[in-house]
Amino acid sequence: MTLVATGSPELAALRAIVRVDERPAERQAHARDLWPRGTLKLASEHDAGVAPRAVAFPTSEAEVAACLRFAAERGIPLVPWGAGSGVCGAAAGRADAIALDLKLLREIGPVEDRGDHGVVDVGAGVLGQHLEDALEAQGWATRHSPSSIWCSTVGGWAVGRSAGQFSSRYGKFEDMASALRVVTPRGAYGTGEWFDPENPTSAGRDLHEWVLGSEGALGVVTQVRTRVNRVARARWLRGYRFKQIDMAWSAMRRILQLELRPCAVRLYDAVDTRLAGKGTVGKVKKSSAWLDALRGLVETTPSLRKHTLSLPLSLPRLVNRIAQGASGDCVLILGFEGEPDEVAEASGRAHAVAMHDPTLVADLGSEPGEHWYNHRHEVSYKLSPIYSHGGFADTMEVCALWSRLPALYAGVRAALGQYGLVMAHFSHVYREGCSIYFTFAGRGTVEVYDAAWRAALAAAEAAGGTVAHHHGVGQLKQHAAGRELAGVAPLFRALRAELDPAGILNPGRMFPEQPAPEVAPPVYGVDAVSRVATLPAHEPAGERDARLASAGWLLRHPTPGPLSADLGRVGPDDTRVVGAWANIEGQRIALLPVPRSSAGPDPRRVLPAERYEALTVPIVPIPGEDD
């Protein structure tokens, strides 16, 4: 690896604008994010990644704009950088690039009280835990609580469409972010509540939904206005052990569709339950304990004891069978928070749902939930033995409608199981569907790692699930995400060319050129399990509502006109549009019906109304006809 000498004359003009660090140590720190593939290459090939030529540290939006002008005039690639905690390679370095480290954009404004919630303006470089600490002192909280909260930034949350551990009640971060300040080589502009239709940079369009999830490819987010909530006065947490995973799925779905709004819903599959001992002990493992549990499984299996770590990584199918066959039990964590009366009523009803059949469900009391809550931000530093033994470890988060969830779980688990030990938990639960978070560890080279991911992404696509629920796209998923959003990829590339004519912003990331699959016409009808209906976008309201009512359903969000005329935002834990079919420049495009996704920008609500052909929207049963 060649490092540019400190004080490069080419960067003299930039150093006059902003602090620039060209020291090898600082540059190497910005050579890669936490994509496990990079860690595997470091361990197996001693490849530490490609260091940028320099790291710039702007302290204001004006300095960010000056950095972009400098780079655009010289054709120098620029990679926006938050805290480097991404796991998909979105912020990986390049030899000829400048890394734009945004952590000095750390102002936190006062909270504006809007009655049922508040809003606060936050610098994009503010670390998550710093924001929560500042808000808590004022009696507020975002409740956006990713496990990376100590090492991720608000700007990173926005451009990656991040999800926190309480998303079932408070939504993902794109549901919380009501406005963004964005700097592009063409200028600065606001989105959402800050949108200015007279601003020529955006050509009169609000680019809010395009920038969310864009991973720095459209512009640099400098400030975020985010929704905040009053600190909860009551909290209830509990654990349950189910004999069958499909029973747990049914309970989770029922609780969400009863509008009970839990803050936490986490179901651990049989393997995850077995490895952490959750089936027999009340406690739920710390996030850093699964490697210890893997060792424990092998140590308690005589035939495997001599090969504590190498054998389970080498014989994944065998160990998967042992782990899954040992126990079919799975543990569910439920949590509610808010006002005391609200929590008491909702938790009581949820408990009744969970304990619907006491012969197949055990009440584990409050300890599992309390233990999880108290350890939810512990980040694992115990992965080194896996890499030192020639293995790898990673996570994959996907999401689907309830009706597609079993196929998604089975398909992705089987695909990953060819290459390593696999476990999963189900979290980020919505009325219409659920996310699955797979953890897997295997043995082999970068080629084996890549093969595992190709198989898993193909399985997710085949099952009708999104390939990214909250970790984003990066280099890891760009081809799969490009296929999922094939219809909007040309729109994204055209917008990028408008905002960044020189192509300096995170080049090569998001939506590579590839053939777009032919899109079949929408199939109209009701998915009663997921409580969604696919309906003509321009059908008169009377005809639409009468047809739904004859089948026992109502729109969750009634509208007096065609669906395409009313696609605005609703509450942070709710969505008005689940999927869409539209016509863009004579081509039919489809946006996958899924509750939430981070496979890139999500324009399903903001296309011109006349372009929509069909929409998949939430429905509810007519009162008295609930299942």
Domain that holds residue 599: 525-621
Residue 280 has pLDDT above 50, yes or no: no
Averaged pLDDT for residues 368-378: 91
Give dist(CA 474, CA 304) in Å, integer: 37
Residue 300 has pLDDT above 70, yes or no: no
Give dist(CA 202, CA 95) in Å, integer: 31
pLDDT at 2: 39
Q: Is residue 164 part of a domain?
A: yes
Q: Is residue 566 part of a domain?
A: yes
**Between 625 and 163, residue with greater pLDDT:** 163
Give dist(CA 186, CA 220) in Å, integer: 12
**Residues 226 and 242 occupy one common structural domain:** no
pLDDT at 548: 97
**Window from 257-271, 290-304, 354-368 with minimum mean pLDDT:** 290-304
**Residues 321 and 419 occupy one common structural domain:** yes
The CATH number of the domain holding residue 328 is 3.40.462.40
**Between 17 and 284, residue with greater pLDDT:** 17
Q: Is residue 468 part of a domain?
A: no
pLDDT at 139: 96
Q: How confident is the model at residue 390 (pLDDT cuts 50, 70, 90)?
A: confident
Averaged pLDDT for residues 117-127: 98
pLDDT at 282: 45
Give dist(CA 568, CA 557) in Å, integer: 10
Q: How confident is the model at residue 295 (pLDDT cuts 50, 70, 90)?
A: low
**Residues 74 and 142 occupy one common structural domain:** no
pLDDT at 582: 96
**Window from 44-48, 129-133, 290-294, 471-475 with minimum mean pLDDT:** 290-294
Averaged pLDDT for residues 320-347: 85
Residue (of 402, 353, 399) closest to 254 by Cα position: 353
pLDDT tens, residue by residue, 512-524: 888 878 899 999 9
Token reading at 401:
């409608």
**Between 455 and 311, residue with greater pLDDT:** 455
**Residues 116 and 189 occupy one common structural domain:** yes
**Residues 315 and 364 occupy one common structural domain:** yes
Q: Average pLDDT over the chain, rounded to whole?
A: 90
Give how far Cα 178 sits from Cα of 31, 122, 128, Å: 32, 12, 17
**Residues 186 and 213 occupy one common structural domain:** yes
Residue 344 has pLDDT above 50, yes or no: yes
Q: Is residue 442 part of a domain?
A: yes
Residue 3 has pLDDT above 50, yes or no: no
16 half-sphere exposure, CB direction, 13 A CA radius: 6
580 three-class SS: strand
Give dist(CA 166, CA 566) in Å, integer: 28
Q: Is residue 3 part of a domain?
A: no
CA dihedral for 112, 225, 597, 270, sign (positive or negative) = negative
**Residues 38 and 127 occupy one common structural domain:** no
**Residues 211 and 246 occupy one common structural domain:** no
CA dihedral 317, 323, 324, 326 (to 10 degrees): 130
Averaged pLDDT for residues 597-605: 93
pLDDT at 37: 94
Q: Is residue 490 part of a domain?
A: no
Residue 12 has pLDDT above 50, yes or no: yes
Number of domains observed in the structure of the chain: 4
pLDDT at 290: 52
Averaged pLDDT for residues 62-73: 97
Residue 627 has pLDDT above 60, yes or no: no
pLDDT at 599: 96
pLDDT at 513: 86
Give dist(CA 221, CA 218) in Å, integer: 9
Residue 356 has pLDDT above 60, yes or no: yes
For the chain, the residue count is: 627
Residue 285 has pLDDT above 60, yes or no: no
* Residue 163 C-alpha from the chain's centroid: 5
**Residues 453 and 535 occupy one common structural domain:** no
pLDDT at 161: 97
pLDDT at 315: 61
Give dist(CA 526, CA 535) in Å, integer: 9
Q: How confident is the model at residue 263 (pLDDT cuts 50, 70, 90)?
A: very high
pLDDT at 289: 52
pLDDT at 586: 85
CB of 487 closer than 8 Å to CB of 584: yes
Domain final residue, candidates 75, 101, 127? 101
pLDDT at 15: 95
Token reading at 476:
């890891």
Please tell me the pTM assigned to this model: 0.92
Averaged pLDDT for residues 266-291: 65
Q: How confident is the model at residue 48 (pLDDT cuts 50, 70, 90)?
A: confident
Question: What secondary structure does DSSP assign to 214-249, as a single string?
Answer: -TTSS-EEEEEEEEEEEPPSEEEEEEEEESSHHHHH
pLDDT at 509: 84
Residue 241 has pLDDT above 80, yes or no: yes
Q: What percent of the chain has pLDDT over 90?
A: 76
Residue (of 159, 183, 190) closest to 172 by Cα position: 159
Q: How confident is the model at residue 47 (pLDDT cuts 50, 70, 90)?
A: confident
Averaged pLDDT for residues 142-151: 94
Averaged pLDDT for residues 288-316: 53
CB of 223 closer than 8 Å to CB of 182: no
Domain final residue, candidates 230, 246, 273? 230
Give dist(CA 248, CA 273) in Å, integer: 13
Instruction: Report the number of secondary-structure helices (H) and strands (E) in the chain.
Output: 22, 23
Residue 70 has pLDDT above 70, yes or no: yes
pLDDT tens, residue by residue, 429-445: 999 999 999 999 998 89
254-272 in b/e form (b: 16+ CB < 10 A) is bbbbeebbbbbbbbbbbbb
Averaged pLDDT for residues 595-599: 96
**Residues 162 and 89 occupy one common structural domain:** no
Residue (of 369, 497, 387) closest to 446 by Cα position: 387
Q: Is residue 130 part of a domain?
A: yes
226 pairs with which residues across the strands? Answer: 120, 177
Q: Is residue 499 part of a domain?
A: no
pLDDT at 279: 47
**Residues 448 and 542 occupy one common structural domain:** no
**Between 387 and 13, residue with greater pLDDT:** 13
Residue 327 has pLDDT above 80, yes or no: no
Q: What is the CA radius of gyration of the chain?
A: 24
Question: What secondary structure does DSSP assign to 257-314, as a single string?
Answer: HTT---SEEEEE-HHHHHHHTTTTSS----TT-HHHHHHHHHHTSGGGGGGTTHHHHH
The CATH number of the domain holding residue 78 is 3.30.43.10
CA dihedral 234, 239, 242, 246 (to 10 degrees): 50
The CATH number of the domain holding residue 548 is 3.30.465.10
Domain final residue, candidates 205, 230, 255? 230
**Residues 85 and 25 occupy one common structural domain:** yes
